[in-house]
């Protein structure tokens, strides 16, 4: 299987990057092909330009490559911190530019956007790993876990990815080395379940 991994954290020494390294290592150990993009390291431009908006618009080479990748992979893994109940702006810009009509979804004939789209992504499994400094009870009771709604309902369900799993690791800022190692073991287990070893 081909799996796309996207990480969005500006600090290469962050726990988000530790999650990424663990996930990529487990995927490769399970004989999957990995396409990895570190959006900050690659200096991905998150600005959606007006001339890209039309469905048939010619796209910059980098954006066209990202679109081709996401359209053809078998699985997608997104890794990012919870910042104000949202992904970092660079990742939101990646969504704006890459999760495009006729790449990730299309509206049926006669539907001007008010109906339910047809999801076009080939991937059947998506995973989102998040980090947070908010305790789980407060996240759920006060904020309502907006990241779950965003990734599951507004993006992956919308684009036809049926199997979705999300895990939040918190509270990172006060976590011990031992706690983080336990979390990374959990990442390995999740990858092993969602993308088991293939010959």
CATH number of the domain to which 22 belongs: 3.40.50.360
**What share of the chain in percent tops pLDDT 90?**
84
User: What distances in angstroms separate CA 89 from CA 46, 54, 83, 154, 183, one per listed residue?
Assistant: 7, 22, 9, 17, 25
Q: How far apart (Å, rounded) are the C-alpha atoms in residues 196 and 174?
A: 32
Q: Which of 15-29, 106-120, 159-173 has the lowest mean pLDDT?
A: 106-120
Which band of pLDDT confidence, cut at 50, 70 and 90, is reported for residue 137?
confident
Whether residue 199 lies inside any domain: the answer is no
Q: Regarding predicted confidence, which is higher, 144 or 145? A: 145
Whether residue 72 lies inside any domain: the answer is yes
Which band of pLDDT confidence, cut at 50, 70 and 90, is reported for residue 142?
low
- How many structural domains is the chain composed of? 1
Mean pLDDT of the chain: 93
Give the domain range for residue 52: 2-194
Omega of the bond leading into 64 within 30 degrees of 0 (cis)? no
Closest CA to 63 of 95, 86, 38: 95
For the residues 120-128, what does the mean pLDDT come to?
97
Q: Regarding predicted confidence, which is higher, 178 or 85? A: 178
Which band of pLDDT confidence, cut at 50, 70 and 90, is reported for residue 136?
low
pLDDT recorded at residue 134: 73
Cα 118 off chain centre by: 20
For the residues 79-100, what does the mean pLDDT come to?
96
Compute the radius of gyration of the chain from its Cα atoms. 17
For the residues 28-44, what does the mean pLDDT come to?
98
Whether residue 58 lies inside any domain: the answer is yes
Which band of pLDDT confidence, cut at 50, 70 and 90, is reported for residue 145?
confident
Which band of pLDDT confidence, cut at 50, 70 and 90, is reported for residue 109?
confident
What tens digit of pLDDT does each residue of 64-77 get?
999 999 999 999 99
Q: How far apart (Å, rounded) are the C-alpha atoms in residues 151 and 140?
A: 16
């Amino acid at each position: 299987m081909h799996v796309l991994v996207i990480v969005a954290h500006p600090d290469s020494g962050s726990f988000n990057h530790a999650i990424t390294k663990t996930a990529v290592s487990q995927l490769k150990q399970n004989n999957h092909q990995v396409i990895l993009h570190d959006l900050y390291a690659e200096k991905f431009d998150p600005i959606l330009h007006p001339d890209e908006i039309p469905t048939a618009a010619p796209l910059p080479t980098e954006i066209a490559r990202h679109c081709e990748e996401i359209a053809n992979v078998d699985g997608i893994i997104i890794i990012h911190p919870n910042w104000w109940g949202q992904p970092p702006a660079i990742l939101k810009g990646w969504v704006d530019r890459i999760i495009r009509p006729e790449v990730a979804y299309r509206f049926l004939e006669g539907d001007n956007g008010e109906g339910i789209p047809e999801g076009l992504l080939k991937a059947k499994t998506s995973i989102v790993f998040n980090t947070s400094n908010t305790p789980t009870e407060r996240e759920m009771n006060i904020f309502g876990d907006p990241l779950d709604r965003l990734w599951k309902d507004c993006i992956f369900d919308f684009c036809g990815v049926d199997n979705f799993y999300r895990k939040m690791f918190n509270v990172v800022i006060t976590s011990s080395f031992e706690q983080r190692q336990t979390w990374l073991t959990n990442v390995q287990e999740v990858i092993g379940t969602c993308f088991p070893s293939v010959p």
